[in-house]
Amino acid sequence: MKRLIAITALLVSVLAAPPALADDDIAEQLKQYSVQQLYTVYTAIEKELVSRGGSENMQPLSGGRYVAGTQLPAGTYVLILQKGLFGIGEARVYASMDDYRSGDALDRIEVMGTGSRATVTLEEGNVLYIDSSCTFFIKKGQDKVFDF
């Protein structure tokens, strides 16, 4: 219970901190917390960024079709749900445009709740289809995996 109160207090202080708060002060405060507690803070901050419209390393992708190598570079991405019908976000990955047209998906991604995330790797020519009711933020790189 004390840890939960401490994490909540840290979140409030970090999210409500005035711009003049030095980065070193925040870094010192964070050194007190376990990896699991830091991940809780990390997740909460990222959800807050998503609710505010992202950050410079997260770009919004609305419902539609995106071809790797044409509309976005091939690579590994983290999809973070900003909005979806009933809080559900859905995307599919197809090997090619022909597979997209035939409905033969390589992968189906479904996440629930704003800020929910999934990692997807797109090779040149792959098609990422995002359901029309969804908006995801997409950021380059692999999602962090933590074992607790």
Going by their DSSP bridges, the two strands 105-112 and 117-122 should be labelled as: unpaired
* Residue 55 scores a pLDDT above 70: no
Report residue 143's pLDDT band, with 50, 70 and 90 as the boundaries.
low
Mean pLDDT of the 45-65 span: 71
Alpha helices by DSSP H, the chain: 2-15, 23-30, 35-51, 97-102
Calculate the alpha carbon distances from 66 to 5, 20, 32, 35, 133 in Å. Answer: 43, 40, 43, 36, 16
The pTM (predicted TM-score) of the whole model is: 0.62
Q: In this predicted model, which residue has the larger pLDDT, 139 or 74?
A: 74
Mean pLDDT of the chain: 79
Give me the amino acid identity at 134. Answer: C
Residue 76's DSSP bridge partners are: 121
For the domain covering 59-140, report its CATH number: 2.60.120
Report residue 96's pLDDT band, with 50, 70 and 90 as the boundaries.
very high
Q: What is the pLDDT of residues 3-25, one digit of tens each?
A: 656 666 665 565 555 555 566 77
Model pLDDT, residue 50: 61
Q: Which of 84, 148, 76 is nearest to 113 (CA)?
A: 84
* Tally of CB atoms within 10 A around 10: 20
Model pLDDT, residue 2: 62
Percent of the chain with pLDDT over 90: 28
